[in-house]
Amino acid sequence: MSAPGNFPIPKRGPGIWQPKIQGIVCNWCSYAGADLAGGGRIQYPPDVRIVRVMCTGRIDALFVLKAFADGADGVLVSGCHFGDCHYLEGNYKAAKRMFMVKRLMKSIGLDDRRFRMTFVSASEGAKWGAVITDVVKTINELGPSPITEIRKEMAIK
């Protein structure tokens, strides 16, 4: 991962593609880590839109697939480190589900690098910045989601 703050500033404006990345994060650890990053003025790209859930154990695989179906170019799920879950085993359950999501993505021909699960604690604001920077860099390299392109073609017909 690159260091937070060391990301190229992409050109922004009308007609220029910008990645749409959906983040689904744990309230107790990753959301608090993102808050710490903001409070600490750690620089990272603004391309991730966050949905906060109480625990990553609550995240169904369909949440991730629906994000892609609705036009996300990438999805990030982030929760507590193993052994630190406020609900004891939620992050273990989420990791199993997200492993299945990656396998499903491969089987349908969608690049599994568009999806990532990470573990960021409340005290890891700098790590949050690094994770976001790396995710955005990966999605920028991959370009727009093929699902979005297919949806555009279907809307034209």
3-class DSSP string for 33-85? HHHHHHHCCCCCCCCEEEEEECCHHHCCHHHHHHHHHCCCCEEEEEECCCCCC
On whether residue 16 sits in a domain, the answer given is no
Tens place of pLDDT per residue across the chain (157 aa): 445 556 666 677 788 899 999 999 999 999 999 999 999 999 999 999 999 999 999 999 999 999 999 999 999 999 999 999 999 999 999 999 999 999 999 999 999 999 999 999 999 999 999 999 999 999 999 999 999 878 888 886 5
46-50 contact pairs (CB < 8 A, 24+): 47/18, 47/19, 47/20, 47/21, 47/136, 47/139, 48/21, 48/22, 48/23, 48/76, 48/132, 48/135, 48/136, 49/20, 49/21, 49/22, 49/23, 50/23, 50/24, 50/25
Strands 74-79 and 21-26: what pairing? parallel
On whether residue 14 sits in a domain, the answer given is no
On whether residue 1 sits in a domain, the answer given is no
Give the range of the structural domain holding residue 37, as residue numbers without chain letter. Answer: 21-156
On whether residue 138 sits in a domain, the answer given is yes
On whether residue 12 sits in a domain, the answer given is no
Domain count for the chain, please give it.
1
Query: Domain of 42: which CATH number?
Result: 3.40.50
Q: Which of 130, 145, 125 is nearest to 30 (CA)?
A: 125
Strands 115-119 and 21-26: what pairing? unpaired
On whether residue 76 sits in a domain, the answer given is yes
pTM (predicted TM-score) = 0.90
